[in-house]
Structure 1
Amino acid sequence: GPNNQDKSLSSDLDPILKLQGIPWLLRKTILFTPLTIQITHHTETTNDASGRTTMHLTARQTSIKAANPPPDIRHFDWEVYEQENFLFGGIVCRNRYIRGDSVSALAEVGGSAGGGGGSGDGDGVVRPAVEVQSLLKDGGDLVRRFLRGEVEVDGCTLSEGFLVEEPVVWGLFGEEGRGDGEGIWGHVFDRKKDGGWCSEQVWGFEMIHGERLYTRRAVVTDSTGGYRLARLVY
């Protein structure tokens, strides 16, 4: 169904839009325009022995105050493809679903020590097992912790992070639909076709003020490896 962006809970997107080269006046128009996102999806299953299922997702943004942009098309098979974006022009996309691995609460306090390689082991906290694709000048540990939901956008405050929920569609992770680990999250990586910036996101659900809300944790990097973090809440 439709999801309204909650700008009171979402990060300020002005620094990210500025990094992506959006002019000041257009940035202000975007920031003060209420948006609704409508997501639809369908699946395709291969006819070979793997029986692999691929999810295809279409996200349409609508607003009562502005013209509606073309839909955002996502194929969750980790194949590279191109699409046109009304703000940025040509973008190159890759998308996939990822499972979770566990990290101890002690490791989270001191910084992520990487995944545990599987499901939680008692006191472990399950987080998305995201392999960061962005090229970052500081090595990317903070970015990885944020995308996994270990810390908030300030990079310091510990976060309860994403809810751990199982797939509702069989076959996304092989014949039995399970694969290694727990949970399921969307991992989206875009780069501007003619260079300049990359965007990487993890999609899932979080409990915020006692309510289950759809969120997108994002990092946008420039050509020097500098970056900005943001969380969008719907």
Structure 2
Amino acid sequence: MAAPLDMTTENISGTFVMNKELSDDTDKILERQGVGWFLRTAIRLATITLHVNHYYKDGVEHIDIKQTLTGGIEGTEENRTIDWTERKHTDKLFGPVVSKSRRIKAEDLPNEYLSVGWLSEAVESGLIHSYVVSDKPEGSKGYWTAEQAWGFEIINEQKRHVRHVYFTSEEEIIKAKLIYDYAGPYSKAI
């Protein structure tokens, strides 16, 4: 289902389901992040739902995302404070990471892949820029970075929530686009 016409990155609260037919395959990214074959296969087969709560607290923007997989299985949790401050976190899937997030104009993103293709309202409001790095020494096995830009695009004639992923590891650079169908207003994950 298409995202509401009035939805922008200024408030992306809602429930979104990954459209795996339209999204790029993320198996190689997950492999480079150290996720084993069995778990990658389960993720590939599962329906992934994002429960996004976008709010302000004490004047600071926050985006909390709880992920669930088919059958209500709990996935990863992303609690983003949109202030470009580094925060350490131990992710259930990826292990120890350091992340930071901010609102940014498309032209100020660090590479063209992250900055192109967005709807004008996403560009005007600013995109959400997420930067996550594995908490390992740079140059060591398993070191990776994942930059994302979040916004809205028209995909197959429908407005959809999209994430551009620019992933780097010691082996390669991988670009992927994750596309989500709107499934309704925000609801707390099970």
Asked if residue 147 in structure 1 is aligned to residue 114 in structure 2, the reply is yes
Select the residue among 18, 22, 46 that pairs with 1:9. Answer: 22
Taking only aligned residues, the RMSD between alpha carbons, in angstroms, comes to: 1.7
Q: Is the 8 A contact 1:130 1:187 kept in 2?
A: no
Pairing of 1:44-63 with structure 2 (within 5 A): 44-45=57-58, 53-63=59-69
Give the alignment's TM-score, normalised by structure 2: 0.79
Q: Is the 8 A contact 2:64 2:80 kept in 1?
A: yes
Partner of 1:73 in structure 2? 79
Deviation, structure 1 residue 148: 1.1
* Unmatched tracts of structure 2, length 5 or more: 1-13, 138-142, 181-190
Partner of 2:167 in structure 1? 220
Greater alpha carbon shift after TM alignment, 87-96 vs 16-25: 16-25
Asked if residue 22 in structure 1 is aligned to residue 28 in structure 2, the reply is no
Give the whole-Å Cα distance in 1 for the aligned partners of 2:70 and 2:100. 30
Q: Is the 8 A contact 2:161 2:179 kept in 1?
A: yes
Select the residue among 107, 114, 130 that pairs with 1:188. Answer: 130
AA aligned opposite 1:86: K
SS in 2 for 1:26: helix
Asked if residue 197 in structure 1 is aligned to residue 120 in structure 2, the reply is no
User: After the TM superposition, which parts of structure 1 deviate over 4 Å for at least 4 consecutive aligned residues?
Assistant: none
Q: Is the 8 A contact 1:78 1:94 kept in 2?
A: yes
SS in 2 for 1:71: strand
* Unmatched tracts of structure 1, length 5 or more: 46-52, 100-127, 133-143, 150-160, 167-180
AA aligned opposite 2:109: E
Give the whole-Å Cα distance in 2 for the aligned partners of 1:72 and 1:44. 17
Deviation, structure 1 residue 131: 3.5
Deviation, structure 1 residue 216: 0.2
AA aligned opposite 2:118: F
Task: Give the aligned length.
Answer: 162
Q: Is the 8 A contact 2:147 2:166 kept in 1?
A: yes
Q: Deviations over 1:14-70 (max 9, x none)?
A: 11111212111211111111111010022134xxxxxxx421110011123362035
Deviation, structure 1 residue 183: 3.5
AA aligned opposite 1:87: L
Give the whole-Å Cα distance in 2 for the aligned partners of 1:202 and 1:94. 12
Give the whole-Å Cα distance in 1 for the aligned partners of 2:40 and 2:77. 20
SS in 2 for 1:56: strand
Give the whole-Å Cα distance in 1 for the aligned partners of 2:23 and 2:108. 22
Q: Is the 8 A contact 1:215 1:232 kept in 2?
A: yes
User: Between the two proteins, what is the percent identity of the paired residues?
Assistant: 29
Q: Is the 8 A contact 2:67 2:74 kept in 1?
A: yes
Partner of 2:153 in structure 1? 206
The one of the two structures with greater contact order (alpha-carbon pairs below 8 A, sep at least 6) is 2
Give the whole-Å Cα distance in 1 for the aligned partners of 2:35 and 2:108. 28
Partner of 1:108 in structure 2? none
Partner of 2:7 in structure 1? none
- Structure 1's 89 and 56: CA in aligned 2 closer, same or farther, altered over 3 A? same
Q: Is the 8 A contact 1:164 1:184 kept in 2?
A: no
Give the whole-Å Cα distance in 2 for the aligned partners of 1:98 and 1:75. 14
